[in-house]
Structure 1
Amino acid sequence: MTDLPADWLRPLGSTGLTVSALCAGGGPLGSMPGNFGYEVPAQQGVDTVLRVLEGPIRFLDTSNNYSGGDSERRIGAALAQAGGLPEGFVLATKIDRGPGNDFSAARVRRSIAESLERLGLDRIELLFLHDPEHISFEEGMAEGGPVRELVRLREEGLAAHIGVAGGPVDLMRRYVETGLFEALITHNRFTLVDRSADELLTVAADRGLGVLNAAVYGGGILARGAAATTRYAYKEAPAEVVDAVRAIEAACARHGVPLATAAVQFSTRDPRVTSTVVGFSRPERVADVVEQASQPVPDELWAEIDALVPSSTHWLY
């Protein structure tokens, strides 16, 4: 394997935690065929987590509702087999809404209780509010709502640090600017073909938040190419986006750089991004993605890619 980048280990904002430049994403671990197009057997998910725990990636992110809790269950099974979290390894999970779009304080309590039980832990190092776009900002911030309860979980020590994870960049910025959160996850909005979150990254980094950039493959098209799929962010992509992917593929080929390598390093090379979240569902993929993050990429390729980004009218925002 290529030597790891010099900045492989990085401070996570002002949390005092140190994480790796790559974060193992737990979405595919529990099997999400609707998003990713394939099933993941239980033992394969457990084996994948065990491989992560053994390697240079020191950061794993999951969520309460991934595959109805199966992602956390498989992580918990791997932790039990491994004898617990390795020293210095950071595990993050997320608070998720319940049936009927319930994001109440009581639901927040149930969500973390469910996560702790599945994971076999008594506290979470990093706990995110997940997808708050399903309620209004005012509901999210209200007394009796999820944010106030998340803060209480931190005060009680059930969560050492808290963050916010979601999609719409304007809403995420409002949460970042409350000053209550220590970390941010944005997804599908800072990739080779979508720069929606560019300003958000600056705002979060300037405020001292740890920034996690997820879904850098856009659901697969930026890993496998436009010949394999024409879907971006789990839905059919506009023709201009697909054309841009094809043009970027061609530019990468001219420089001898795999498309997936460019997709990962577009994120890892940005100084505002603390860690880049990449989902894993097979043990062998761990070494593959570490290699992608470590391969040399010529500087001139980035300028070519920047010139090929589709119009902002096709970005997610």
Structure 2
Amino acid sequence: MELDTNGSGPAALPSRTLGCSGVSVTALGFGAAAVAGLYEDVGEDEAAAAVEAAWEAGIRYFDTAPHYGLGLSERRLGAVLRTRPRDSFTLSTKVGRVLIPHDGVGDDRANGFAVPATHRRRWDFSADGVRRSLEDSLTRLGLDRVDLVLLHDPDDHEEQAFREAYPALEELRSQGVIRAIGAGMNQSRMLARFLTETDVDAVLCAGRYTLLDQGALDALLPAAAATGKSVIIGGVFNSGLLADPTSGATYDYAAVPEDLLQRAVRMRDITESHGVPLRAAALRFPFGHPAVASVLVGARSASQVRDAAEQFRGPMAAAMWEGLRAQGLLPGGVPVPPERVP
């Protein structure tokens, strides 16, 4: 991965190129699920302020999906990004769920989003479904292109994703419609298969390479390193626990088990003894592996974005990581990042 710079002035963040695609992403990216009402309602002004704060913090990589708020994430993100020069940022969205207009009542909280149930999701990893999903996303975004398109959660559609959806993305890339392709999931096994059996540029792995879960280190990250492809890490807080380890926290979108809560509390005590908030250590941890190109942070407000950027940039002494190892909280073979932002 090539290291370069993106942006100007004190807010600039380092960036890396995704595989051999020529598409660069800032080391810290903005995940736009939260601004679409993930778990709780977020107003239009608050959402726009969060995206604006990400820009001001030097973030130039933004990730979204039709699934997030039934298209609301794409609409809100596009409304802000349309005011910026198109070549000044990198945007990814996802395919695999097509949104169908729905005249039902109620909201989408059963799927995690506090938005009206104006549409329903239909799984579709066919070639036509991929093309339709991308066309619909461009309409919601109000933009003429996206840079990276990811197959979204094909867990239960593995063979169709490989036989139909992936070739469709490959064709769109060869036509120049999109510049980079990949897959995004909350597991590492299938993502490793994409890296070794296809010509994807990058994969997005959520929740499986964190301070609490290094499952991606078994096969996914070695496969990326061996093939020269890139990994984007999402879910570094494991849906909240590593941001604020309290009894009300969630782990992988569910109530946190007591043993994991106590493990996170012990981690927090050690990182704070070195002057580092646990959330800062969680944000920086993935950069111990050279295949990691970017870490996505989800935020619903400008203050959360500014905090994430500040924590991400802070120094972290080797002694902190050694302290976690000494207490058996971090395995000895797990790589750790340098003191400063890589």
Q: TM-score w.r.t. structure 1 length?
A: 0.87
- Cα distance in 2 between the residues matched to 1:90 and 1:170: 27
Contact 1:60–1:92 (8 Å) recurs in 2: yes
For the residue of structure 2 that corresponds to 1:224, the secondary structure is coil
- Cα distance in 2 between the residues matched to 1:183 and 1:242: 32
2:162 to 121, 133, 141: 141
Aligned to 1:132: 154
Counterpart amino acid of residue 88 in structure 1: S
Aligned to 1:27: 33
The verdict on how the C-alpha distance between 1:141 and 1:11 changes in structure 2, with shifts beyond 3 A counting, is closer
Counterpart amino acid of residue 73 in structure 1: R
For the residue of structure 2 that corresponds to 1:219, the secondary structure is helix
Percent of paired sites with the same residue: 32
Aligned-pair distance for 1:100? Answer: 4.6
1:58 to 57, 60, 81: 60
1:186 to 205, 224, 233: 205
Aligned-pair distance for 1:291? Answer: 0.9
- Structure 1: segments with no counterpart, 5+ residues: 312-317
For the residue of structure 1 that corresponds to 2:316, the secondary structure is coil
1:249 to 242, 263, 268: 268
Q: Please say if 1:198 is aligned against 2:253.
A: no
Q: After TM superposition, which residue ranges in structure 1, 4 or more long, deviate above 6 angstroms?
A: none
Aligned-pair distance for 1:173? Answer: 1.0
The verdict on how the C-alpha distance between 1:243 and 1:278 changes in structure 2, with shifts beyond 3 A counting, is same
Q: Please say if 1:214 is aligned against 2:234.
A: yes
Aligned to 2:89: 89
1:291 to 310, 321, 324: 310
- Cα distance in 2 between the residues matched to 1:52 and 1:301: 28
- Cα distance in 2 between the residues matched to 1:262 and 1:69: 32
Counterpart amino acid of residue 217 in structure 2: D
The verdict on how the C-alpha distance between 1:4 and 1:117 changes in structure 2, with shifts beyond 3 A counting, is closer
1:78 to 77, 80, 84: 80
For the residue of structure 2 that corresponds to 1:122, the secondary structure is coil
Q: Please say if 1:112 is aligned against 2:155.
A: no
Aligned-pair distance for 1:220? Answer: 1.0
Q: How many residues are treated as equivalent by the alignment?
A: 298
Aligned-pair distance for 1:43? Answer: 2.2
Counterpart amino acid of residue 209 in structure 1: K
- Cα distance in 1 between the residues matched to 2:147 and 2:225: 20
Cα RMSD after superposing both structures: 2.1
Q: TM-score w.r.t. structure 2 length?
A: 0.81
